[in-house]
A and B are shown apart, each in its own frame.
Chain A
Amino acid sequence: MKSSIFVLVVLGLGVILGLSFPVPDFLLDKSLSTYILYALMLQVGISLGCSDSLKKLVRNFDFRLLLIPLSTIIGTLIFSAAASLLLSKWTVADCMAVGSGFAYYSLSSLLITQLKEASVGVQIASELGTIALLTNIFRELMSLVGAPWFRKYFGSLAPVSAAGVNSMDVVLPTITRFSGKEMIPVAILHGILLDMSVPFFVTLFCQM
């Protein structure tokens, strides 16, 4: 929870600075964000590569566990597509691209902004990127706050599914608390698989 607030503060700081001062162009250069994004992906890879969790999962694997990330993906995509009926400005694919952030706000919003730019221009692309950012920040906050409620009404898998990619990091302590310790490997596998699916689905729906 603390880190989510910190994230909002840093983002807000950027917005306020951008609003109140003329920002030099090199700081707004797209390639700067791209390089930071590369650095991020490298580190995410390193953390996956050197953790035991990958190995442990491979050793005693229960194939039913794959159904959980699959449920998250299918459920999110169907309902995001349905939400597009209420949002006349965006296509079904646009809404599905936003939904396929699975609460990974930083990556999904940057990807959407960059991938959509070629087809719809900077303006519309950054609008959809902003919506993706807000949508996925909202999802992270709601999955943190709502976990006990989700557990009660939708079963022990629900807090994992709701958290999206964050089931393996930010929301993991909350999941453990309300769904039990045996959920830890489930939550980590879920997070890893969704993590890898974000670039795939966002690219797919941005090109449709």
Chain B
Amino acid sequence: MFSILIFMLTGIALGYRFRHVVLFHKTEKTISITILFLLFFFGLNIGSNQSLIHNFSSFGLQALLLAVAGLAGSLIMSWITYRLFFRKEDRHEK
């Protein structure tokens, strides 16, 4: 776990140091390619795990519940934050 943060901090330092090098600004593409690789191998692992596949419909439902819950929570909290701290300014500007 610790090593993941180290890699990210190293990246930030490298990116800042070489921010004028054009090559370093092309990370968007390579990031998506890397993510696709990760997901492909992740899929491979899921697919070859029999019992996981067997219970997939139940996982899907649980995931849907958690996704809706997380989304609803952040919508409600961001609405409260908006009303309390941001809306006044919005009105003044208009």
Contacts and interface: CB of A to CB of B under 8 A. Distances in A.
Given A33-B41, A155-B83, A83 B78 contact: no
A25 to B, nearest CB: 10
B69 A83 contact: yes
Contacts of B17: 49
Contact of B48 (A12, A28, A134): A28
Interface string A124-136: 0011001111111
**Interface of B: prevailing SS:** helix
Contact of A45 (B12, B44, B86): B12
A64 B86 contact: yes
A91 interface: no
A161 B32 CA distance: 22
A28 B86 contact: no
A109 B42 contact: yes
Given A45-B15, A158-B79, 10 more contacts: A28-B48, A41-B11, A44-B27, A47-B11, A71-B78, A71-B80, A76-B74, A83-B70, A106-B35, A157-B82
B87 to A, nearest CB: 7
Contacts of B70: 75-76, 79-80, 83, 99, 102, 135, 139
Contacts of B36: 6-7, 10
B11 A67 contact: no
A80 B79 contact: no
Interface residues of B, number: 73
Nearest to A104: B35
A126 B49 contact: yes
Given A16-B47, A44-B31, A157 B81 contact: yes
A135 B66 contact: yes
Interface of A: 3, 6-7, 10-20, 22-23, 27-28, 32-33, 36-51, 64, 67-68, 70-72, 74-80, 82-83, 86-87, 89-90, 95, 98-99, 102, 106, 109-111, 115, 123, 126-127, 130-136, 138-139, 142-143, 146, 150, 154-158, 160-162, 164, 169, 196, 199, 203
Nearest to A161: B78
Interface in B48-94: 48-49, 51-53, 55, 59-60, 62-83, 85-87, 90
Contacts of A44: 8, 11, 27, 31
A38 B11 CA distance: 10
Interface in B1-30: 1, 3-5, 7-19, 21, 24-25, 27-28, 30
